[in-house]
Amino acid sequence: MDSRDRRLGLGRAISRRDFLNGVSVAIGASLLPACAKTGDPVAEGLSAYYPPAETGMRGSHPGSFEVAHAAVQGQHWAAETTDEHYDLVVVGAGISGLSAAYIYRRDVDPNARILILDNHDDFGGHAKRNEFTLDGRTFIGYGGTMFMEAPKTYPVTAKQVIRELGIDTDRHGDFYHEGLFASHGVGRVSFFDKETFGKDFLASGEHGLSGSIDGAPLSVSAKAELERLFADEKDYLAGMTMAERRAVLESHSWRDYLERFAGLGEEVLAFVQKWPHGVWAIGADALPAWVAWNEGYPGFAGMDLGQDDENGGEEDGGSFYFPDGNASIARLLVRKLVPTVAPGSSIEDIVTARFDYSRLDQPENLTLIRLSSTVIGLRHQDGKLDADVDVTYVSGDKGRTVTAKKVVWAGYHAMLPHICPDVAEDQVAALSSSVRAPLVYTNVLIRNWRSLVRLGLRRAYCPGSFFQTVMFTHPVSMGDYRFSRSPDEPVVLHLQHIPLAPGLPAPEQFQAGRRALFVTPFATFERNVRDQLGRMLGPGGFDPARDIAGITVNRWPHGYAYSVDVQSGDVAWWPEYWRHERRPWFDARQRVGNIVFAGTDASSNAMTESAIEEAHRAVHSLM
């Protein structure tokens, strides 16, 4: 450790740091986190087992993925045959798998015996809750699925589940501190880093616009271009017919479009490259121009192409936020399925309810949720598609087989063909056409937010930095949970990093990003957190060594679900505007005997409403 490391605070004790990284952790080895070591959280009466409070490397944490990777590469386990038999086994305890169990119980059989298996040490999948404790107070952040976007536009089946969970999305205003940040004068800024732009510079004002970029490390012409782009008054395709315009948008990436038709130079193209990262997990180089247009990105003034995003704007009724993102939806579902797991009955009390994880997997439960259990085999008995299904999973380093009348697969489509011999060849191809975009959501607990107020920073776009987004977590108080309302109080910041390889086709970028994540240790994330926050917030008085109290990195190598047309390489960014006749995700989700498919791969739409809707469709296809 050199003096710079010490200045950044790399040696400091922070909220229990987990030094494990993602590099080749041996299965079943002592490196597995304490809670995953036994493979069975209830086995040793682990009353202290409470995964949301784990910090360090979370998301796809060490110990969660190694078995699946080995299974896909052909490793076999000698599995013990058990006498456990279930009406339904659900693979995946994300929102979709949990919804499938809930809907099965509601619509098929209230007394069904259900087993839910998940490879992580916590339930919720992407809907992951992160907690920090500082000076006796708990601070909550979202490690993945962040909010319910436009729940008024959800499909009826998803709306019904949300309503039955007690979530009244009209009550958004009861919990969300609408004016909090404005009252402290913090807003949007852009951070130019010296490695990319030649000098560290924080430009205040919306997107670093107008007067705010006077001092930015950009050439005079680039500043003028940036202002022109965001003023968004120029029709760059003037004189073209509607069909010609559409053809241009469909055949160019947003970056190529801006370069060729809007005449933007390299500096501004570098500025916008990561603009779509948070929403699409891809950069401007590979995001189709028509998606950028539909999303309302700048550069498309005067383009009425007769197609609009009807879900945008105020008419969608707004969004709904829990302090832990949609992890509260997962927790509400789990409390319905296993009522003894936590007290309470409302959305207010779910936020601070302490879950007793030892209740999840008890033989007397009607629904059992078994964590740290990776399914590595699904096979209809005697090869007969109307027979029961043998479900083999690995927990710790032990294989076990249970049997099920029906199975809902709410895991990743692309894995299934590797572990289920019952899938026909053409369906294997369709299942394999599902790709996943990698993302990393990092939560950083800081001791106060005075520096952010001094700098006017609520949300920063950082086009050249490791984390392209740095922002406050959503200001939500609910039940007994109080969001930090004074700059003198600690607060959780949300930082995003999307690993990609610009220049390649999107699916190859996702693959490259996944590989990069696999070998990026926690220490690299920590160094970047400290370095970037120190440089951005330092002028406001922030000292990373003193002010950072906790870091949790949520690594999602298998993040947003997208389907790909293998022939053209087209990605189904927006399934409702898919232009090919065949929808690979429709072909992929066809029932295989007693196995049906839920999860967002089944809709090529990484959204909570799809996770629930696909669960509903899958369960009802069994009826």
Ligand X SMILES: Cc1cc2nc3c(=O)[nH]c(=O)nc-3n(C[C@H](O)[C@H](O)[C@H](O)COP(=O)(O)OP(=O)(O)OC[C@H]3O[C@@H](n4cnc5c(N)ncnc54)[C@H](O)[C@@H]3O)c2cc1C
- What is the nearest approach in angstroms of ligand X to the Cβ of residue 465? 18
For position 412 contacting ligand X by CB under 6 A, the verdict is: yes
21 sits near ligand X (criterion: CB under 6 A): no
Q: Binding of ligand X at residue 118 (CB under 6 A)?
A: yes
Of residues 117 and 595, the one with the C-beta less far from ligand X: 117
Compute the half-sphere exposure of residue 67: CA atoms within 13 Å on the CB side of its CA.
27
Task: Give the shortest CB-560-to-ligand X separation in angstroms.
Answer: 6
Q: With respect to ligand X, which residue has the nearer C-beta, 289 or 389?
A: 389
Q: Which is nearer to ligand X, 65 or 481 (CB)?
A: 65
The residues in 179-208 that bind ligand X, with binding defined as CB under 6 A, are none
User: Does the footprint of ligand X cover residue 517 (CB under 6 A)?
Assistant: no
The verdict on 119 binding ligand X (CB under 6 A) reads yes
- Using rule CB under 6 A, residue 62 touches ligand X: no
Nearer to ligand X, 161 or 537 (CB): 161
503 dihedral zone (left: phi>0; alpha: psi -120 to 50; beta): left
Considering only 25, 95, 140, 268, the residue that binds ligand X (CB under 6 A) is 95
Candidate residues 28, 62, 125, 557; the one interacting with ligand X per rule CB under 6 A: 125
Give dist(CA 621, CA 279) in Å, integer.
Answer: 31
Q: Which is nearer to ligand X, 147 or 257 (CB)?
A: 147
How far is 9 from 526, CA to CA, in rounded Å?
A: 10
CA distances from 308 to 147, 229, 291 (A): 23, 21, 11
Q: How far is the CB of 124 from ligand X (least distance, A)?
A: 7
**Is 392 among the residues that bind ligand X (CB under 6 A)?**
no
Axis-axis angle for helices 608-620, 95-107 (nearest 10): 40
Q: Show the tokens assigned to 276.
A: 């779509």
Which residue from 608, 163, 127 is spatially nearest to 331, judged by alpha carbons?
127
Q: How many CA atoms lie within 13 A of 545 on its CB side?
A: 10
Supply the DSSP string of 264-321, one letter for each residue. --HHHHHHHTTTTHHHHSS-TTTSBHHHHHHHT-SS-TT---S---TT-SGGG---B-
Nearer to ligand X, 493 or 606 (CB): 606
**Which region among 73-81, 334-342, 408-416, 507-515 touches ligand X (by CB under 6 A)?**
408-416
Q: Give Cβ neighbours of residue 486 (< 8 Å, ≥ 6 apart).
A: none
Going by DSSP bridges, is the β-strand pair 457-461/469-472 parallel, antiparallel, or unpaired?
A: antiparallel
CB of 322 to ligand X, least distance (A): 11
Report residue 615 as tokens. Answer: 């669960």
| 126 counts as binding ligand X under rule CB under 6 A | yes
Phi, psi of 85 (to 5 degrees): -130, 135
Closer to ligand X at the Cβ: 193 or 361?
361
| Closest approach of ligand X to the CB of residue 258, in Å | 26
Question: Which residue in the set 216, 351, 611, 619 belongs to the binding site for ligand X (CB under 6 A)?
Answer: 611
Token readout for 191 is 């951070």
Residue 259: what are its φ and ψ, rounded to 5°? Answer: -70, -50
Distances (CA, A) of 250 to 44, 503, 526, 578: 57, 18, 40, 11
Question: Given the rule CB under 6 A, which of 86-94, 354-362, 423-431, 530-538 is the region that contacts ligand X?
Answer: 86-94
Interaction between residue 127 and ligand X (CB under 6 A)? yes
Mask: binding to ligand X, 439-478, rule CB under 6 A, as x and -?
x-x-------------------------------------
> What are the Cα distances from residue 411, in Å, to 15, 102, 604?
31, 17, 13
Contacting range for ligand X; rule: CB under 6 A; set: 210-218, 221-229, 360-368, 410-418: 410-418
Least Å distance between CB 253 and ligand X?
23
C-alpha 157/C-alpha 519 separation (Å) is: 40
* Residue 375 binds ligand X, judged by CB under 6 A: yes
Task: Find the shortest distance in angstroms from Cβ 321 to ligand X.
Answer: 9
Is 117 a binding residue for ligand X by CB under 6 A? The answer is yes
Binds ligand X by CB under 6 A, chosen from 92, 151, 288, 593: 92
Binding mask 415-444 for ligand X (x = CB under 6 A): x-----------------------x-x---
Which residue type sits at 476?
V
User: Binding to ligand X by residue 162, rule CB under 6 A?
Assistant: no
List the one residue from 254, 466, 556, 562 that touches ligand X (CB under 6 A). 556
Cβ-based nearer residue to ligand X, 560 or 573: 560
Sort residue 263 into left (φ over 0), alpha (ψ -120 to 50) or beta: left
Q: How far is the CB of 295 from ligand X (least distance, A)?
A: 15
- Single residue of 258, 410, 478, 500 touching ligand X by CB under 6 A: 410
- Closer to ligand X at the Cβ: 91 or 453? 91
| CB-based contacts of 22-30 (< 8 A; 24+ apart in sequence) | 22/57, 22/60, 22/62, 22/517, 22/518, 22/519, 22/520, 22/521, 22/555, 23/518, 23/519, 23/521, 25/62, 25/63, 25/66, 26/66, 27/66, 27/67, 27/70, 27/394, 27/397, 28/396, 28/397
Q: Annotate 308-353 with DSSP letters as a single string.
A: --TT-SGGG---B--TTTTHHHHHHHHHHHSGGGS---SHHHHHH-
Residue 559, interface with ligand X (CB under 6 A)? yes
Of residues 65 and 132, the one with the C-beta less far from ligand X? 65
DSSP string, 87-108: EEEEE--BHHHHHHHHHHHHHT
Query: Is residue 408 close enough to count as binding ligand X by CB under 6 A?
Result: no
- Does residue 120 bind ligand X (CB under 6 A)? yes
Among 57, 90, 91, 402, binds ligand X (CB under 6 A): 91
Q: Residue 284 interacts with ligand X (CB under 6 A)? A: no
| Residue 101 in contact with ligand X, rule: CB under 6 A | no
| CB distance 87 to 114 below 8 Å | yes
- Smallest distance, ligand X to C-beta of residue 186, A: 22
Residue 295: closest CA among 303, 584, 612: 303
Residue 364 contacts by C-beta under 8 Å, 6 or more apart in sequence?
Answer: none
**Strand-strand pairing, 398-409 and 434-446:** unpaired
Judged by the rule CB under 6 A, the positions of this chain that interact with ligand X are 68, 91-97, 117-120, 125-127, 144-147, 149, 374-375, 410-412, 415, 439, 441, 556, 559-560, 599-600, 606-608, 611
